[in-house]
Structure 1
Amino acid sequence: MYLLIILTMLVSWGIQWRLKSKFREYSQVGLQSGLSGAQVAELMLADHGITDVRIISTEGQLTDHYNPTDRTVNLSESVYAERSAAAAAVAAHECGHAVQHATAYSMLQFRSTMVPALSAVSTWMPWLLLAGVLLINRSVIPLGIGIALFSLTTLFAFVTLPVEFDASRRALAWMDKRGIVTTQEHGMAKDALWWAAMTYVVAAISSLATLLYYVSIFMSGSRRN
């Protein structure tokens, strides 16, 4: 179990490095259509009849995200201003989430319903897990509660996967249909989004491995008690 956790950490580091490398590479390729990330986002929202979502620039690298609470597509400074295949892919992907929201995509709705519960338990869960491990020879109850709460975060990580893949699918299909990217640029955009998606896949596997680790401790403690 320890080996699996270490392996997922190493794979996660490798994918993060590869993702940043791909974005640096594709950011050097100018988009033939000449559109910036912000302009791509504006077009995609307009084409889907979405008029109540704002597009704003945010600090940092790869900090792009869609916020369903305040209805904003947040693009990192480079993505917002750049006119590259990478910027177009990221901007369209985040707008893909806005389209999911507007069309009541079921998996996004399910994930959104989990957020309040996760926010409520996130503060106490690490302490319960720690206390559960330390007190395992006395009682398995604290660890059992911690595992139950941690399982919510693991479920959330796996629910996130179809949401992310669907947003990328919507983004690529729209860019092709709208003529935003050439065939070569499509390949770059698809590759960049694939590596981005892999970070979520590894995060889900890592969460599952950690959950199984705590379950193994719980089972061992149950047998002793």
Structure 2
Amino acid sequence: MFMYGNGMFYNFFDPTFLLVIAGLVISGLASAYVNSTFRKYDDFRSRKGVTGTAAAEYILHSQGINDVGVQQIAGDLTDNYNSGNKMLSLSEATAQSTSVAAIGVAAHECGHAVQDAKNYFPLRLRAAIVPIANIGSTISFPLIILGVIMSWNATLINIGILAFSLALVFQLVTLPVEFDASRRALGILREGALLDEEELEAARKVLVAAALTYVAAALATFLQLLRLILLFGGNRSRD
């Protein structure tokens, strides 16, 4: 292990690793919460008996969106909207279920389709950042390691840290996109009377839980970035 600071303590323990552990705990708790919340309200069947697929098709039609397809895909909570091929994909747990949770998730993905149709800027920005963020995440650690190997080359290390920070930028841009999609979803469900007020409140809880996973991911990435800055940002020499 590369040493920094003073004292024998640092030979055996890197205190900044606690930041990584904290990020993992936060992400794990958020994931467990969304899964438990979805399971809870997946047992809450909508009174109108509308499936996730039917709700999605209704919402798209009601918003004048006729160029988006709806398909069922494998997996659990793998629901997504692809603006590239105009396809809204619903997982098996959502597509054929008549639960309030399933309808809420389907409506959320429709919210992204509405964003796309209305040229919602944060959605466009996120799409533009994706390839850059992916490249940054891929090359960040190799650059940092190479910089350390090359006698703590400041340029390589700093570029590596900057590349990793692009992942955080992507996740920060994702937050308003996800929150806005949920806001649109609940509004459309209320206007279309697909769910009554009690059901809407249940759907809101599911979507809030899902949104927390994005907040947790951004926080975990921030903590990882902070760790990299603490470890390498000062371009310390090896003792």
Normalization by structure 1: what TM-score? Answer: 0.93
**Structure 1 residues 14-62: Cα deviation after superposition (integer angstroms, max 9, x where no partner):** 1211111111111111111111000110011111110111111111111
Deviation at 1:7, TM superposition (A): 1.6
Relative distance call for 1:220 and 1:117 in structure 2 (3 A) is closer
- Spell out, residue by residue over 1:74-121, the C-alpha distance to the aligned partner (whole angstroms, 9 max, x if none): 110120000010000000000100000000001111111112222344
Greater share of residues in helix: 1
Deviation larger for 118-127 or 27-36:
118-127
Question: Partners of 1:101 and 1:68 in 2: how far apart?
Answer: 7
1:29–1:85 Cα contact (<8 Å) kept = yes
Select 2:217's aligned residue among 198, 203, 208: 203
Alignment equivalent of 1:2, drawn from 17, 41, 54: 17
Aligned partners of 2:81 and 2:112 also within 8 Å: yes
In structure 2, distance between residues paired with 1:139 and 1:110: 33
How many Å separate the matches in 2 of 1:63 and 1:115? 19
Q: Are the counterparts in 1 of residues 139 and 163 from structure 2 also a CA contact under 8 Å?
A: no
Contact 1:136 1:218 in 2 (8 A): no
Structure 2: give runs of 5+ residues left out of the alignment.
Answer: 1-15
For 2:64 and 2:48, the matched residues in 1 are separated by 22
Residue 153 of structure 1 corresponds to 167
Higher mean alpha-carbon deviation, 184-193 vs 211-220, is at: 211-220
| Aligned equivalent of 1:185 | 199
Q: Which of residues 77, 87, 98 in structure 1 aligns to 2:113?
A: 98
Counterpart CA distance in 1 for 2:150 and 2:173 is 31
Q: Which amino acid aligns with 1:215?
A: I
Question: Residue 129 of structure 1 contacts residue 146 of structure 1 at CA under 8 Å; is this kept in 2?
Answer: yes
Number of aligned pairs?
A: 224
Partner of 1:170: 184
Q: How many Å separate the matches in 1 of 2:18 and 2:42?
A: 36
8 A contact 1:137–1:221 mirrored in 2: no
Assess, with a 3 A threshold, how the Cα gap between structure 1 residues 111 and 55 changes in structure 2: closer, same or farther: same
Deviates more, 1:53-62 or 1:113-122: 113-122
Contact 1:140 1:222 in 2 (8 A): no
Q: CA deviation at 1:224?
A: 7.5
The Cα shift of 1:223 comes to 7.4
The answer for the alignment partner of 1:125 in structure 2 is 140
| SS of residue matched to 2:153 | coil
Shifted more, 1-10 versus 201-210: the winner is 1-10
Among 27, 30, 46, the residue aligned to 1:31? 46
Quick one: percent identity of the two aligned structures?
38
Q: Secondary structure at the match of 1:57?
A: strand
Higher Rg: 2
